[in-house]
Amino acid sequence: MFKKFFFFFLAVILAACTGTPAPASTPSAEQMDVEEQAVYAALLRNLYSASSYVIMVLTATGPVGVEDTASTLDHIVQNMHAVDLETADSFRVRNDAVYPVRPDMDLGSGYVLLSQGEMSQIFSQNRDGWQLFYEQNPDAPGITTLSRVGFNKSLDQALVYVGTISHWLAGAGTYILLKKVDGSWIVDQQVMTWIS
């Protein structure tokens, strides 16, 4: 009798030790802020590797702001493989409106933030706006717009939108899926949503 009880007790203990792991907890806002900066830095380095950037002061998920986020995200999820549902949901929630881009991020390169008013002022003068822009920002790859980054709960998958215009009728917008490998964010997949 004692042996049966002992083996039953041992089986229960072993089953408890080898059970399914607890689900990952939701990352804190601070954790997501740190990872968002790391994603931006990796993304900009991968796409442009420039010494400085001009980034729009407000986030967007496309050329018209955030109005088309839901339908565009549905298209993106259908055209990328292995996008975690948590990542897509996080992207949707974090881009429910436009948000200010932080002025104090560590992106590994310098950057300035540009408002819509400042951009209009550059391009409303009585001369070539792009020539003026590049005189003021000679190392920038153009004017870049970023979305907020969507993450899965384990913070090893990220989805972000980046759009850059670099001259009259020269620009593109792309959704990029990144994965974290050995502590570093690397680009996994890209889907372009507009080009001019």
Give tens-digit pLDDT for 131-174: 999 999 999 999 999 999 999 999 999 999 999 999 988 999 99
**Average pLDDT for residues 110-136, to the nearest whole number?**
92
Considering the chain, what percentage of its residues have pLDDT values greater than 70? Answer: 88
**Average pLDDT for residues 73-98, to the nearest whole number?**
96
Give tens-digit pLDDT for 101-112: 999 999 999 999
Q: In the chain, where are the structural domains located?
A: 27-195
Looking at residue 2, its pLDDT comes to 46
Tokens of 89: 């949901």
> Mean pLDDT of all residues in the chain?
89
Q: Do the Cβ atoms of 53 and 111 come closer than 8 Å?
A: yes
Residues 6+ apart with CB under 8 A from 57: 100, 101, 113, 114, 115, 116
pTM of the model: 0.85
Rg, Å, the chain Cα set: 22
Residue 7 in this model has a pLDDT that exceeds 50: no
Q: Do the Cβ atoms of 178 and 39 come closer than 8 Å?
A: yes
Looking at residue 158, its pLDDT comes to 98
Q: How far apart are CA 151 and CA 18, in angstroms?
A: 28
Residues 6+ apart with CB under 8 A from 88: 73, 76, 77, 150, 159
